[in-house]
Structure 1
Amino acid sequence: MPRFYQNKYPEVDQLVMVQVQSIEDMGAYVKLLEYDNIEGMILLSELSRRRIRSVQKLIRVGRNEVVVVMRVDPDKGYIDLSKRRVSAEEVVKCEEQYEKGKAVDSILTQVAKKRGVSPESLYEKIAWPLHKQYGHSYEAFKASISEPEAIFGPLTLDADTLSDLRQAIARRLTPKPVKVRADIEVKCFSYNGIDAIKRALSAGEALSTEEIPIKVRLVAPPLYVMSTTSTDKTGAIELMEKAVEVIGESIGKEKGDMTIKMKPKVVSETEDAELKALMEQFEAANMDVAGDDDSDEDDE
């Protein structure tokens, strides 16, 4: 893995991702994954705040660890690191940064292979200048999906490299749509119960947006399934939660009742296929269902 960042060595107090290579009497030898796998050491005293009973429980060969840089001696090539000085929040922050770096590296390696050049040359031309300008080249790559000219214009790349780069970014970073689903039971035994259920479900569907369209379908009374497909996973879950709430409030006002059987969550293709099979099964049985469009005739 090449150097993710322009500096050859990390700075003191910087968080870095390392992989444990060996455990010796002095401490653990590691390689710095974002810095061309250069060697560093986590001293035994810097492994844990607690008294160390077993080093193996704290650190294992082959495992990735988030550590903080304590000392750097470029002349001797020494990098002293600490694991015990890293908080849980810093671990999450560093892991996110590392994943971004890996995504950029994957894109540039792919382009380098296609163009027959070294990944390092692309880091120099593309990643490091963008990193300086945007805080992380990953953020620039993401923004380039909608604003390629603004991001890549100043870099003066040749047309083929730019074309390959944009294709690689689109493949890797364009958000993939996810399906979010919620299962609810809606009942209302008042005189206009069927209409009350329809009104409640419509109120939920009315929260739909162009990016997050909500659909409600009957499985079998009183079970309904709500679903949406969107590239905005968090937004879809939040809007679906709001729609469930609105349906509950609406049916409650009409002296009905709603039970959440499954909270809004991202569902897999398998779960979706199972639901489809279940709905087809009920359809095949040709059940007359309260709350269905055809049931209006039964009320007359």
Structure 2
Amino acid sequence: MSLTNCRFYEDKYPEVDSYVMVNVKQIAEMGAYVKLLEYDNIDGMILLSELSRRRIRSIQKLIRIGRNEVVIVLRVDKEKGYIDLSKRRVSPEDVIKCEERYNKSKAVHSIMRHVAEATQTPLETLYQQIAWPLNRKYGHSHDAFKLSITNPDVWKDTEFHSEAVKNELQLYISKKLTPHPTKVRADVEVTCFGYDGIDAVKTALRTAEADNTPENQIKTLGIQMLGAAIERIAANIKAAGGNCSIKMAPKAVTEHDDAVLAELMEKRERENQEVSGDEDSESGDDE
């Protein structure tokens, strides 16, 4: 048994009419030769007639070597190892469902492979003892892994190969699947050109902090609260003769979004500095 290679699921072959993720390896006159990524890269074939509903003028425009594709299983000959597949019978909804399942299975496979290598345990042994039983019980072992972070009872019926496997698995699941904090952000522009404009803007912005407590740091509630806070800012600044305009409505953001925003703000700041410099040089020339 290998430490790194194993099929994702208990059955060695996919069922007829099931959707699977494949990687295109070769294009020939009869169709496309592929590897079934979820079944330890066993061979399959998408027949030419099953590539598209339309008349095929160029196979290369329909399918490319190296690309992953969602296909449906038409026939499985376990004795000869033939698996016939179809791309043309797959709907956009089928693609989404298959991609979601594949991504979850790939995440589980990454965790299982790490544990196998860290504890020198055959990968298929870990699947037999852990992932496949959890698939039967919870629908997908990925859901069970996430649940186990807060509910250790997930493991009560699991027979671990060793204590080292149990400890490494739980530690790595906690590291990989623990949800990261979600930020909620909105962009608003508050202006007030009255005599006490600066104080009015400060006062208006402080109203947004009224309900900002640790108990309220939940994404959906946070978005609602941020929307209400903006309404208070707008009402407060308008009462002082100012204005508040929403540049971006409240939404949940990731670390990547924050990085993009920071880069954009730095770019704007550089542009403003360049404009200011140009204006100074122009005024100097006029003088």
Does TM, normalized by the shorter one, top 0.5?
yes
2:258 aligns to what?
268
- Name the CA distance, whole Å, in 2 between partners of 1:59 and 1:41: 12
What is the one-letter code of the residue matched to 1:101? S
Q: Which range moves more in the overlay, 136-145 or 6-15?
A: 6-15
- Match for 1:132 among 104, 119, 136? 136
Deviation string 1:120-157 (CA, Å, 9 cap, x unpaired) is 11000000000000010000000011112x11111132
- Match for 1:151 among 151, 154, 161? 154
CA 1:45/1:270 → structure 2, altered by over 3 Å: closer, same or farther?
closer
Alpha-carbon contact 1:103-1:172 (below 8 Å) kept: no
What is the one-letter code of the residue matched to 2:53? R
1:53 aligns to what?
57
1:31 aligns to what?
35
1:83 aligns to what?
87
TM superposition score normalised by structure 1: 0.75
Deviation string 1:32-84 (CA, Å, 9 cap, x unpaired) is 00011111111111111221111101101111001111222212222111111
Alpha-carbon contact 1:20-1:29 (below 8 Å) kept: yes
Provide the secondary structure at the position in 1 that maps to 2:212: coil
Alpha-carbon contact 1:49-1:84 (below 8 Å) kept: yes
Q: CA deviation at 1:160?
A: 1.7
- Match for 2:21 among 17, 21, 24? 17
Q: CA deviation at 1:255?
A: 5.6
Provide the secondary structure at the position in 1 that maps to 2:244: strand
Provide the secondary structure at the position in 1 that maps to 2:245: strand
2:275 aligns to what?
none
What is the one-letter code of the residue matched to 2:15? E
Q: CA deviation at 1:30?
A: 0.6
- Match for 1:98 among 89, 102, 127? 102
What is the one-letter code of the residue matched to 2:258? S
1:257 aligns to what?
243
What is the one-letter code of the residue matched to 1:47? L
What is the one-letter code of the residue matched to 1:48? S
Provide the secondary structure at the position in 2 that maps to 1:155: coil
Query: After the TM superposition, which residues 1-300 of structure 1 pair with which residues of structure 2 at under 5 Å, given as runs?
Result: 1-148=5-152, 150-157=153-160, 158-188=162-192, 197=201, 200-208=204-212, 210=214, 213=217, 240-241=226-227, 243-245=229-231, 247-248=233-234, 251=237, 256-264=242-250, 265-266=253-254, 267-269=257-259, 271-272=261-262
- Name the CA distance, whole Å, in 1 between partners of 2:226 and 2:44: 48
- Name the CA distance, whole Å, in 1 between partners of 2:213 and 2:54: 52
Q: Which runs of 5+ in 2 are unaligned?
A: 270-287
Q: Which range moves more in the overlay, 168-177 or 251-260?
A: 251-260
In the alignment of these two chains, the number of paired residues is 260
Provide the secondary structure at the position in 2 that maps to 1:201: helix
- Name the CA distance, whole Å, in 2 between partners of 1:53 and 1:240: 54
- Name the CA distance, whole Å, in 2 between partners of 1:194 and 1:40: 69
Q: Percent same amino acid among aligned pairs?
A: 54
Deviation string 1:187-228 (CA, Å, 9 cap, x unpaired) is 345788667645643443345353665xxxxxxxxxxxxxxx
- Name the CA distance, whole Å, in 2 between partners of 1:271 and 1:127: 40
TM superposition score normalised by structure 2: 0.78
